[in-house]
């Protein structure tokens, strides 16, 4: 099915036709009563039928709305232009909203690329671009969008890891939300093309580990953060120790052999890297 434009006339023309046929019908019935001529009566019934047909052809199209017309089971076309129109009489009309629609999917429990159970949900923004497809190619396009959106979300969630701990993957669900949203939008657009639906945006709005592994994964994240912090501390401490030894040697403050340098490096590194505050020991020399 594809959209095609439906025959229509300005509704004001239909009003004039309705008034004209109605007036002719009333006048004919009056003439029949006076003359009792059956030909006049037959003409009155014909104009009455025309009046009813014109009345059944009126339709109103709201802004951002389409109406799909069928006549005795045959698809005739679509009217998308807002206004008051006169169209084919005796047709069945199906309203389709062309407005932008958004919905939040349910929280789904799926496995990511590494097999970790996660909870994920998305917000999907879409609109109908082909009302004929939305009406005739699927049973209920809104239900179709909801079901296929959950299917697409499950598929995308299984293609990427929740987090990229070891830099083994280019994209992760938590760290690359824009890239994941783009892939999810493409996947849903491919799935929903059949229903005449355009996906404007699809983005993850909820992402978390499942309750059974959430605590373990939190500890893993905390350990990673601690390691990263310790790495920065060690690099800074090495730089400070090197600077201190170089300055002592350059300015000739004290002469240090290799053994004393190693001892100083050890003491400074312990003082700088240790998480607990170190207590200074003052060497006052030997007492005899």
> DSSP letters along 2-13, please?
---BPP-EEHHH
Judge if 83 and 117 occupy the same domain. Answer: no
Residue where the block lists tokens 């996906």? 199
- The pLDDT of residue 270 is 66
Query: How many folded domains does the chain comprise?
Result: 3
Contact 44, 25 (CB under 8 A): yes
pLDDT digits (tens, 9 = 90+) for 213-248: 556 666 666 666 666 667 777 777 677 777 777 776
Q: At what angle do helices 211-251 and 258-273 cross, to 10 degrees?
A: 140
CB neighbour class for 215 (10 Å; exposed up to 12, middle 13-18, buried from 19): exposed
Between CA 191 and CA 148 the distance in angstroms is 7
Judge if 59 and 152 occupy the same domain. Answer: no
**pTM for the full predicted model:** 0.69
Q: Given 69, 94, 119, which residue is the final one in a domain?
A: 94
Residue 159 lies inside a defined structural domain of this protein: yes
Residue 280 lies inside a defined structural domain of this protein: no
Q: Given 190, 209, 228, which residue is the final one in a domain?
A: 209
Q: Which of 225, 209, 121 is nearest to 161 (CA)?
A: 209
- The pLDDT of residue 284 is 45
Judge if 247 and 147 occupy the same domain. Answer: no
DSSP-assigned letters across all residues of 22-33: HHHHHHHHHHHH
**pLDDT at position 142 over 80:** yes
Contact 100, 171 (CB under 8 A): no
**pLDDT at position 117 over 90:** no
Judge if 175 and 269 occupy the same domain. Answer: no
Between CA 9 and CA 17 the distance in angstroms is 11
Confidence bin at 287 (pLDDT 50/70/90): very low
Residue where the block lists tokens 């001892």? 263
Between CA 140 and CA 183 the distance in angstroms is 25
pLDDT digits (tens, 9 = 90+) for 9-33: 898 998 999 898 888 888 887 877 7
Residues in the chain: 288
Contact 201, 185 (CB under 8 A): yes
Q: Mean pLDDT score of the chain, rounded to an integer?
A: 81
Domain assignment of residue 234, given as a range? 214-273
Judge if 75 and 120 occupy the same domain. Answer: no
The number of CA neighbours under 13 Å toward the Cβ of 187 is 20
pLDDT digits (tens, 9 = 90+) for 64-110: 999 999 999 899 999 999 999 999 999 999 999 999 999 998 888 88
Residue 286 lies inside a defined structural domain of this protein: no
């Amino acid at each position: 099915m594809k959209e095609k434009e439906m025959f229509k006339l300005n509704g004001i023309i239909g009003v004039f036709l309705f008034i004209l046929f109605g007036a002719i019908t009333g006048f004919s019935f009056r003439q029949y009563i006076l003359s009792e001529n059956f030909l006049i009566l037959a003409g009155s019934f014909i104009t009455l039928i025309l009046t009813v047909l014109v009345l059944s052809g009126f339709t109103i199209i709201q802004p951002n709305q389409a109406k799909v017309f069928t006549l005795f089971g045959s698809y005739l076309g679509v009217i998308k232009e807002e206004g008051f129109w006169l169209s084919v009489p005796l047709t069945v009309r199906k309203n389709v909203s062309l407005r932008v629609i958004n919905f939040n999917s349910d929280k789904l429990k799926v496995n990511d690329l590494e097999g970790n159970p996660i909870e994920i949900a998305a917000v999907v923004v879409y609109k109908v671009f082909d009302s004929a497809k939305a009406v005739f190619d699927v049973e209920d396009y809104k239900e179709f969008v909801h079901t296929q959106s959950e299917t697409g979300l499950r598929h995308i969630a299984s293609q990427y890891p929740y987090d990229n701990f070891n830099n083994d993957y280019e994209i992760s669900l938590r760290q690359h939300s824009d890239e994941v949203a783009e892939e999810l939008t493409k996947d849903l657009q491919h799935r929903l093309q059949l229903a005449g639906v355009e996906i404007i945006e699809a983005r993850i709005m909820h992402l978390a580990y499942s309750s059974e592994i959430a605590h373990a994964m939190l500890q893993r994240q905390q350990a990673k953060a601690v390691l990263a912090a310790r790495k920065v501390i060690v690099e800074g401490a090495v730089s400070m120790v090197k600077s201190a030894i170089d300055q002592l040697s350059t300015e000739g403050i004290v002469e240090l052999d290799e053994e004393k340098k190693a001892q100083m490096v050890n003491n400074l590194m312990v003082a700088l890297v240790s998480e607990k505050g170190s207590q200074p020991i003052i060497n006052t020399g030997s007492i005899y």
